[in-house]
Every structure is written in structure tokens, then in C-alpha cells.
Structure 1
Amino acid sequence: MRVLLVLPLLTFTLAACEREDRDYRPNPVTAESQEKIALAPLSPGPGGPTEQRSGLGKEYEENAYHISQGQRLYAWFNCNGCHGNGGGGSGPALMDDRWIYGGQIENIVQTIREGRPNGMPSFRGKIPDDQIWEIAAYIRSMGRNVPKAAAPGRKDDMSPGPAEQRRPPGEVIDGGQVPPSAQMPQ
């Protein structure tokens, strides 16, 4: 009699279980975001260059998980090899306010995706688009350009300064302008 009661209950329980359906990571090249950004303030004609930003960067910059994943990927892809924990090396520093191709997250994504002359390789097709955005969000956090609550903790083994979330907010100066750190003292 007990077996007859347990058997329908067991059948009902197993019928209610479904396999979890997960989205797999899309093809890195076909899933790229389409940002139309200007890398310099120069353009032909009387007006400045036109830009179309999707707003996707805000989703990554304000999310602590994405920034911490970017920190992990920054180390995994050996960005430290050229950029030396953000302070520079054979590649430019990422913690200051001087950006040749623009310091907005969309500009950084384009730099990682397309590469730049004289050393920065292109990672198009090698790193999925969402991971490029996470790395770019982490790079923005190095310059104190993300909300304090989202900024990751920093490994202080090589950093003489305080962690990102303990620094005052920074200001990005896009390419073509002279940042305060590069101006002559008065």
C-alpha cells in the first residue's frame, strides 16, 4: 500500500523537474556591439564628428560583478605585461587622465577590439564582446571613473597608492586636449 502511494508521488516529482536552459556565449564576432565613436575631435566640414553610443557601457561601469570579472580577465590576458598594473610600462598608463584615443568606455572597447598602432594588438575574434566590455570597465575603474560602490578592491602588492574605491573621483580628458598633469606649472 505504501509503495502505491510513493510511486505516484515520485512520478509527479520527476515529471515536474526540467533541465535548466542556459544561453551559451554567442559567437564573439557576430555579437559585437556597434558603437560609432570619434577617436579625435577633427572631422571634415563645419561640424564636429557624429557619435552614436549605445549606452551599453553604463551597464558594465556600474556593475561590481562586471568590473571584478574585468579585473580577473585583465590579469588572465596579461595586460599587466605592457600596462604594468595600470601604471604603464611598455604600454601607456591607464590610471592617469591622459588618453590618446579617448577615455570613455566605448573608446577603450574600440581600442581593445581593434588595436592601435605601435604595439596594442587587436583582440577582435579572440575575446568575446562581453569580456572586452568587462576589461574596459575595469580599466575605467583604475582611473576612478566608476561609482565608488562598484569599484573593485585592488591587489596592493605593487600599488603605492590606495585602492580604487578609496580614491577621490577622477575626471577623464579625451584625446586632443592637454590634461592638468601634462601642463606646465604656473
Structure 2
Amino acid sequence: MKTHRHHLSVCLPACLLVALALAGCEREQRPTKAPAAASGIADPSYAAGGRTPVSNKYEENAYAVSQGKTWYRAYNCNGCHAAGGGNMGPPLMDAKWRYGSDPGAIYSTIAHGRPNGMPAFGEHVPEDQIWQLVAYVRSMSGQLSGSVAPNRSDTLQAAEPENRRKKEKPVHEATPAAEQ
């Protein structure tokens, strides 16, 4: 009986410690609503407005980034951006960002569109899905931690997994005169 109590007194605190550590892990948490960062960027002139960049809490969550990859395929972003390498739309895997690479600028681009090609999806795509798309799009150029970026593709895509891509240093391209 004494060894049984001793075993419980050693094992129980260790098990509780492990349970608390796992409960605090947000990497795989499945969020149910848009993060607080979604407020205050409804203005499509965000990228040019000189406002403080907005953070995206979904960028810290592997499940949300994976969902963004799912939405990227489901909403046919591949139709214009291919697998991130560009086609009719600009590439998303390189360092060049015409309207800014921070989450708020990308959100604004998806929600409100851009001249000469990018349609506005804000009235058709829920806000939390746009934030998940933002997180995934940033992972395509290595802007997210490898611990949350998708590590494989479920398609026959020959590209390097997002969590192994070299982090590009974003460069803000000047907006062409025709698009101003």
C-alpha cells in the first residue's frame, strides 16, 4: 500500500503538469471567430494610409494557417495566383508586395480588391476566413514560423512546403501609375 501511495504522489503532479502544458498550447487550437486584429481596417486605402500595421493572431495557429490553405484552393485563388508562383495575378512566394506585406494590407486587398484585376471578396467571404487566407498567403513567402506553416501539400504540387521556404524580405513595390 505504501508503494502505491508513493507512486501516486510522484505520478499525479507530473501528469497534472503535462496536462497544464498541453492545455496552454495554442498551436493547434481551433478558433471559432475572427481575432481582435480584424477591427479597424475596413478602409481599402489601408496600405497607402500609413497606419500602424495590424497583427493577425491566426498566424500563430497551425490549424488556422492550414484552413487558409484550404480556402485558397476552395476560392480558386490558384486561378490567378497559380500555386503562389503567379499567373494573371502577382506571385505570392517572392519578396515583392505591391500593396504591402503586413497582415492588414493583405486583408484589405482580399476584402476590398485592387484596381485592374483583384476582385473584392469582403461581401462574399466571412471575415475569419479572410484572416486565415492572410495567414496562409504570408506563409507562402516564408513570413510565418515554420512551426505553424503547412508542412506538406495534399496535391501533386512540386513546390517546397511552406514551412521549409526561405523567408523573403518583403519589398514594397511602387504602385504603377495606371493603377493609382
Q: TM-score, normalised by structure 2?
A: 0.69
What's the CA shift for 1:118? 1.0
What's the CA shift for 1:127? 0.6
1:151 counterpart SS class? coil
2:67 counterpart SS class? helix
Q: Which letter does structure 2 place at the counterpart of 1:126?
A: H
Change (3 A) 1:100 1:153: same
What's the CA shift for 1:175? 3.3
Q: How many residues align?
A: 138
Matched, 1:128 2:126: yes
Name the structure where helix makes up a greater proportion of residues: 2
From the CA coordinates, give the structure whose radius of gyration is larger: 1
> Aligned partners of 1:25, 1:149: CA distance in 2, in Å?
22
Matched, 1:51 2:51: yes
Change (3 A) 1:50 1:147: same
1:73 counterpart SS class? helix
What's the CA shift for 1:154? 3.6
Measured on the aligned residues, the alpha-carbon RMSD in Å equals 2.3
What's the CA shift for 1:157? 1.9
Of 154, 163, 166, the match for 2:164:
166
Percent pairwise identity: 41
Given that 1:105 and 1:136 are in contact with CA atoms closer than 8 Å, whether structure 2 keeps it comes out as yes
Runs of 4+ in structure 1 displaced over 6 angstroms? none
User: Runs of 5+ in structure 1 lacking a partner?
Assistant: 1-23, 27-31, 41-48, 178-186
Of 39, 42, 45, the match for 2:47:
39
> Aligned partners of 2:167, 2:160: CA distance in 1, in Å?
13
> Aligned partners of 1:95, 1:164: CA distance in 2, in Å?
9
> Aligned partners of 2:87, 2:58: CA distance in 1, in Å?
26
Given that 2:112 and 2:122 are in contact with CA atoms closer than 8 Å, whether structure 1 keeps it comes out as yes
Change (3 A) 1:93 1:149: same
CA offsets, 1:108-152, max 9 Å, x none? 100000001111110121111110000010000000000110010
Given that 1:104 and 1:172 are in contact with CA atoms closer than 8 Å, whether structure 2 keeps it comes out as no
Q: Which letter does structure 2 place at the counterpart of 1:51?
A: R
1:85 counterpart SS class? coil
User: Runs of 5+ in structure 2 lacking a partner?
Assistant: 1-31, 176-180
What's the CA shift for 1:170? 2.3
> Aligned partners of 1:104, 1:25: CA distance in 2, in Å?
21
> Aligned partners of 2:161, 2:33: CA distance in 1, in Å?
32
Change (3 A) 1:75 1:51: same
CA offsets, 1:76-102, max 9 Å, x none? 000001100100111110101111101
Residue 86 of structure 2 corresponds to which residue in structure 1?
Answer: 88
